[in-house]
Structure 1
């Protein structure tokens, strides 16, 4: 079990007890101090607030100090997944079927490694992605990184009102 898997195993029960689901964990950064990034979401799928992040951070900080899974100095950062939420688990792909995503693969799939299209279907061992009318079957083990493409509603711009 690598360090990230160990961290997930340590923190996930506490996050669940607090009403959060674990989205993603990463450990990186340069210099003398790494950053442990923990992305959370509310179990009821409502928006994560700053207060949620502070609450989770306090609990996880104590827990990680006790368990001590990282041997070097690090900073803990707890955040929401944001509008361009990463898709990590199979359940993420199932949940966001029908949405536009972008992804990169480890190896070329039909001569390409970067895709942006509609997540048509999430199956047991692969996803079906439609890109500009063409369908691709991409195995989960080939997905290096996948994220939602944020949806922003276009605002109607009205001309300024002239004062008399």
Structure 2
């Protein structure tokens, strides 16, 4: 039921998020005494702010009540994915170009890891990482296992 609910939530949330000039990164349903629904959003043209999240949350709450998808108490949270979450949409790579990343990726039959600067993002296709040793590594999005932004300290 949870996978089906997650897919239904994505279908409802996507147009609401897009009307705010943002894109849907993920939807998570977390079981708890009060079920938690997390709608994770991002923007190509800027950051994610509280006012936009509030508008999305109000519209989604209205639609969820109208659709009557959830028949128990729940808490709706709309937020940016934050730095702790791996990048999951190619649009997030473009936004993070120039930042330091750690990428786990598949190369042939091997799994490799590289740390360095994210550069030259070709939306939907590939990106480059300038590794710490100065080498340039081209990685296709289809080969990515996980990419995390490394915050500056």
* TM-score with structure 1 setting the length: 0.64
Counterpart position of 1:146: 147
Counterpart position of 2:137: 136
> Which structure's CA Rg is the greater one?
1
What CA RMSD, in Å, does the superposition of the two structures yield over aligned residues? 3.5
Counterpart position of 1:118: 117
1:104 matches 2:104: yes
CA distance in 2, matches of 1:103, 1:72: 40
Q: How many equivalent pairs are there?
A: 149
Closer/same/farther in 2, CA of residues 24 and 72 from structure 1, 3 Å limit: farther
Aligned pairs (5 A) from 1:1-164: 4=6, 6-17=8-19, 19-30=20-31, 35-41=36-42, 44-49=45-50, 51-67=51-67, 75-83=75-83, 86-105=86-105, 107=106, 111-123=110-122, 124-132=124-132, 133-151=134-152
Describe the superposition over 1:90-120 as per-residue Cα deviations: whole angstroms up to 9, x where unpaired.
2222333222122334x46785444321112
> Which consecutive unaligned segments of at least 5 residues does structure 2 have?
none
Please give the secondary structure, in 2, of the residue aligned with 1:93. Answer: helix
Structure 1 runs of 4+ aligned residues shifted over 6 Å read: 70-73
